Amino acid sequence: MAGTDMDPEVARGLFEEGATLVLLGVPEGTELGLDYKTWTLGPRFRGVKMIPPGLHFLHYCSANSNGAYGEIGPKMGLFLSLKPREVLVAHWNQREEDLEFSEDPEEAERVRANLRELDGYLGPYPYDTLRKWVSLTDRLSQEIAFALQPLSGRVCAFSDVVPELKLTHTKDREEQNLPRNDRECQSMKEGLDRLPRMKQREGTELRFSNIPKQAYPPGATPAQITQYSMDLSYALNSVLESHYKEQPLNVLGELQFAFVCFLVGNVYEAFEHWKSLLALLCRSEEAMKERKDLYLGLIAVLYHQLGEIPPDFFVDIVSQNNFLTSTLQDFFQFASSPGVDSTLRKRAEKFKVHLTKKFRWDFDADLDECAPVVVELPEGVTVD
C-alpha cells in the first residue's frame, strides 16, 4: 500500500484527527479496499491509518487458501461510521473468511497505546480518492446506511440462499404435491419444477424501500389507472410517505447506497433497485412540480454517479435499448413542462446539454408520443 502525496497540513490533520482500522490476521493475497480504492495485501499489512472521520465502506475478497494461486472468494463489505481519532480493531476469522470486530474496549486501548509500533504496518487512507467518495455519498448518512444494510451487517456480492422448504425425502415432496426425484424427467419443465425453490437466508437481504408494484390507488377508474401509469407520482409519494416521511430528500441517500453497493460492492440486486428507484423519480411529473429541492438534489447525485460508468453500460444487448436515455428522456420532458420551478427547469436543461456532450446521447429523438401506453388493469375492471 503505497502512500499518496498530500499537502503536509492535510497529512498532519489526518494524522492527529484521523481514525485507524487495525485489521489483524488478514491473509496475504486478500483483496481489501476502503471506499474507492482496493489493494492486494502483502505480508506486513495490519490495517489503515489517517482515515477521515465519517461514513466509509470497507470491502474485501478473501484469498482462497485451498484453491489455485490468485483465486479469491466473493466480495463482502460493510459500512462503518468512524469518529475522529477512533481506533477500531478486527480479527480475521479463518473458518468464516470474514472480519470479526472486537467489542472489547480494553483491547482497543491496548492497540491505541501500541499505534507507534504498528505505524509501519498501517497503510495511509487513499486521500486522492476522498473527493470522489464524498461526491458519491454526500446524501448518505450513517442512519440511512445502517437502516438499509442487511441485519447480518454484511453486504455480499453473492446472495446466501437456502431452500424455501426442507424436502429431504420423497414423501416430503409428495406432501407438497411436487414431482418425485426418483424418476427420470420427461421434459425440461419437469426438471426445472423439481429444483428446490430458494430464498435469501434471513438477515442477509438488503433492506431497500419497497417500490409498489401497483402504481395507482385502490378503486381507481380505468382513466386514472392510465394517468397513474404515465405519471408515477402516486407511487413515489407512497414510497416517501412509508420510508422518508420526515425527510423526503433521504431517498437520494438510498439511491447513493444502492449505487455504491453495486459499483464498489458488486451487488447486482443493488443495481436493479437503483434502476427502479431512478425510473420512479424520473417519471413522476406532478412530484417534479411540488418537490423542487428533491429534483435539484437528484440532478447533483446523477451528475456524479454517471461520471463513474462507461456510456455503453446501460445498453441492453438484446434490444439495444438504453435504459438511461429512455428514463432521462422522460425526466427532461417532464422538467421542461409548465408549472416546474424555473431554477429546476434551467438546471435540468444544463444537465441535458452536459450529458449530450459527454455521452453523445440524443434526448430529442422521436418520443413516440403516439405510441399507446400498455396498462395492466386490476382483475374485474373493464374498459367500456
The band of 231, judged by pLDDT with boundaries at 50, 70 and 90, is very high
φ, ψ of residue 315 to 5 degrees: the values are: -80, 125
Give me the pLDDT at residue 199, please.
59
Mean pLDDT of the region 183-211: 71
pLDDT per position as a tens digit, 140-150 = 999 999 999 99
pLDDT beyond 60 at 176: no
pLDDT beyond 70 at 234: yes
The band of 3, judged by pLDDT with boundaries at 50, 70 and 90, is very low
C-alpha cell at 352: 441535458
Query: Measured between alpha carbons, how far is 343 from 351 in angstroms, rounded to an integer?
Result: 12
Asked whether 52 and 44 are in contact (CB, 8 A), the reply is no
Sequence-distant (≥ 6) Cβ neighbours of residue 247 within 8 angstroms:
none
- How much of the chain, in percent, has pLDDT values that exceed 90? 62
Burial class (CB in 10 A: 0-12, 13-18, 19+), 355: buried
Asked whether 108 and 97 are in contact (CB, 8 A), the reply is no
pLDDT beyond 60 at 136: yes
Mean pLDDT of the region 21-27: 96
Asked whether 248 and 240 are in contact (CB, 8 A), the reply is yes
Q: The dihedral of CA 252, 202, 213, 243: what is its sign?
A: negative
Give me the pLDDT at residue 163, please.
60
Mean pLDDT of the region 199-223: 83
Domains of the chain, CATH where assigned: 9-130 (2.60.34.20), 161-200 (no CATH), 222-367 (1.25.40.550)
| Local structure of 294: helix, strand or coil | helix
Query: Measured between alpha carbons, how far is 156 from 205 in angstroms, rounded to an integer?
Result: 9
Asked whether 234 and 240 are in contact (CB, 8 A), the reply is no
Asked whether 179 and 173 are in contact (CB, 8 A), the reply is yes
Identity of the residue numbered 289: K
Give me the pLDDT at residue 251, please.
98
Query: Measured between alpha carbons, how far is 134 from 190 in angstroms, rounded to an integer?
Result: 51
Query: Measured between alpha carbons, how far is 178 from 192 in angstroms, rounded to an integer?
Result: 11
Of 45-59, 84-98, 175-189, 216-230, which gets the smallest average pLDDT?
A: 175-189
Give me the pLDDT at residue 242, please.
95
The band of 196, judged by pLDDT with boundaries at 50, 70 and 90, is low
pLDDT beyond 80 at 200: no
Give me the pLDDT at residue 311, please.
66
Using DSSP bridges, classify how beta strands 198-200 and 54-61 pair: parallel, antiparallel or unpaired.
Answer: unpaired
Mean pLDDT of the region 200-218: 83
Task: Supply the mean pLDDT for the chain.
Answer: 85
